[in-house]
Amino acid sequence: MLDLTAYGTPNDTPPLLIAHGLFGSARNWGVIAKRLSDTRHVIAVDMRNHGNSPWFSTHSYEDMAADLAKTLGDLGQPADVLGHSMGGKAAMVLATRHPDLINKLVVADIAPVGYSHSQMEPIDAMKAVDLSKIDKRSDAASQMTNLDQGVQSFLLQSLDIQQRKWLLNLDVLAAEMDKIVGFPPISGSFEGPTLFLSGGASDYVLPKHRQIIKPLFPNAKFAKIPNAGHWLHAEKPREFEAAVRAFLDM
């Protein structure tokens, strides 16, 4: 059972489930989730091996999709789903396997393809922190000087100071990194309304990816947020919220 944070109250509008990206948590989406909850029930989850959700020995997209399917099943009605990066890939697998659970799908800055980059540098940086010497976040930050400050600040949100531990299953995420940056072969399609919302300055969703996306998501639409990178929801939160709201309210 994934740990979740709920906003707003259930009503006649389909609920919205939010799935975060690698190294993230439901907490990262709190501001946007709260804003969108003015008209609908919003549920932000901690993905497996992240935040307060259980740790497992695997981190495949099939597993993550199954976790989300269980969460949606507990809601008792089809929901809109928003996934960013890793969460977007999990949401796409979910949509093709359980289309009956999803009303509308928003995929934020990711495509159903494998990528050549790795995310091992942040894992190595977190593993290198001597947690026995941590009394405040700045103590950890001083040991992570090899990272960009924005990445450093983001990762430190997953550090439990009191218990001196990372709220990330770093060993499993490292072991499963090839699966995380990859994408599994999938069959089937999701014919519901789908929005691929990308950062205008990001190269994660390219024109060449559309020939892969369209057979899987025949009703996909594409939009970009100008001057936003991969972390579009954090860089341009108001524009991101407006784009998601406009699509869900159509």
Question: Could you read off the pLDDT of 82-123 as tens digits, one per residue?
Answer: 999 999 999 999 999 999 999 999 999 999 999 998 899 999
Q: How confident is the model at residue 55 (pLDDT cuts 50, 70, 90)?
A: very high
CA distance 102 to 82: 10
pTM equals 0.96
Domain ranges of the chain: 4-115+182-248, 120-173
Question: Could you read off the pLDDT of 18-47 as tens digits, one per residue?
Answer: 999 999 999 999 999 999 999 999 999 999
Longest Cα separation, the chain: 53
The domain 4-115+182-248 belongs to what CATH superfamily?
A: Alpha/Beta hydrolase fold, catalytic domain (3.40.50.1820)
Identify whether 230 is a catalytic site residue: yes
CA distance 146 to 152: 9
Q: Which of 59, 84, 98, 230 is catalytic?
A: 230
Q: 246: Cβ–Cβ under 8 A, 6 or more apart, which residues? A: none
pLDDT at 20: 98
Q: Which of 25, 85, 158, 202 is catalytic?
A: 85
Residue 148 scores a pLDDT above 90: no
Q: Which of 38, 130, 160, 171 is catalytic?
A: 171
pLDDT at 237: 96
**Ramachandran category for residue 139: left, alpha or beta (phi over 0 → left; psi -120 to 50 → alpha):** alpha
pLDDT at 187: 87
For 220-247, what is the mean pLDDT? 97
Identify whether 202 is a catalytic site residue: no
Lateral strand order in the sheet of 194-199? 4-7, 42-45, 16-19, 79-84, 102-108, 194-199, 220-225
CA distance 195 to 81: 11
Mean pLDDT, the chain, whole residue set: 96
Identify whether 37 is a catalytic site residue: no
pLDDT at 179: 97
Q: Which amino acid is present at 170?
A: L
Sign of the alpha-carbon dihedral angle for 13, 7, 99, 229: positive
Question: Could you read off the pLDDT of 155-183 as tens digits, one per residue?
Answer: 999 999 999 999 999 999 999 999 999 99
